[in-house]
Amino acid sequence: GAGVSQSPSNKVTEKGKDVELRCDPISGHTALYWYRQSLGQGLEFLIYFQGNSAPDKSGLPSDRFSAERTGGSVSTLTIQRTQQEDSAVYLCASKPGTYGYTFGSGTRLTVV
Amino acid sequence: GQQVMQIPQYQHVQEGEDFTTYCNSSTTLSNIQWYKQRPGGHPVFLIQLVKSGEVKKQKRLTFQFGEAKKNSSLHITATQTTDVGTYFCAGPGKLSFGAGTTVTVRA
């Protein structure tokens, strides 16, 4: 596609429920990143994919967080048993090589 | 990954004035990137600097990479209300973002 697409754009969920966030990167971009941004805060690195492999999962906050990428394209970030502190905007970014990243518009997650 | 520090965290600017935001790293960076995030939006790539001492301009924005490749700056001249937002610098690799400089403009 023309840009990085994320869905849903907004998600309200009850505490304890599982959620899945989707990222559809720009076609051909091999690297894909997930970040989290709390209100008024900077970008917190979560996980990075090169192709379908995730060489760096160091940013995942807990074992309730997992992510996968299939076919070198779409990625899904799953949060199990959501907590209120998981509320944030989850941003996905992809890049073609050594140049700049293109970010999606994000998923705003609210845990109530 | 590299840690980059940005100062100031907040910049309140009178419309028409100039300002500079700085990005500093304790280690040498192979490149540095700058992004702008408008309120309610997502980060948008502005530019990448690679060479020691490199200077690049985009209209009223001037980006500079230090000689030692450990620091960078973004200078905006004649600030406009359209410049409002948060400016992030980022090192290479897994993209170590600075905390950003949030710019507000008073007309």
Per CB-CB distance under 8 Å, the chain B contacts of A100 are 33, 45, 47-48
Per CB-CB distance under 8 Å, the chain B contacts of A104 are 42
Q: Mean pLDDT, to the nearest integer, of B57-70? A: 97
What secondary structure letter does DSSP report for A86?
G
By Cβ distance, the residue of B1, B31, B95 closest to A101 is B95
Indicate if the pLDDT at residue A89 is higher than 60.
Answer: yes
Confidence label for A1 from pLDDT (cuts 50, 70 and 90): low
Confidence label for B94 from pLDDT (cuts 50, 70 and 90): low
Confidence label for B70 from pLDDT (cuts 50, 70 and 90): very high
Q: For residue A58, is it left (φ>0), alpha (ψ between -120 and 50) or beta?
A: alpha
Q: What is the pLDDT of residue B97?
A: 85
Lowest mean pLDDT among A49-58, B47-56, B70-79: A49-58
8 Å CB contact between B43 and B102: no
- CB spacing of A43 vs B97 below 8 angstroms: yes
**Residues B78, B44: Cα–Cα separation, whole Å:** 21
Q: Mean pLDDT, to the nearest integer, of A67-78? A: 94
More confident residue, A42 or B89: B89
Tens-digit pLDDT profile for residues A5-56: 999 999 999 999 999 999 999 988 888 999 999 988 889 999 999 888 988 8
Q: Which amino acid is at A58?
A: S
8 Å CB contact between B25 and B65: no
Q: What is the pLDDT of residue A55?
A: 83
Per CB-CB distance under 8 Å, the chain B contacts of A93 are 43, 95
Confidence label for B50 from pLDDT (cuts 50, 70 and 90): very high
Q: Tell me which residue of B67, B71, B77, B66 sits closest to B20, measured CA to CA.
A: B77
Tens-digit pLDDT profile for residues A91-108: 999 987 777 889 999 999
Q: Mean pLDDT, to the nearest integer, of B60-70? A: 97
Q: What is the pLDDT of residue B6?
A: 94
Indicate if the pLDDT at residue B87 is higher than 90.
Answer: yes
Q: What is the pLDDT of residue A11?
A: 98
Q: Mean pLDDT, to the nearest integer, of A53-74? A: 91
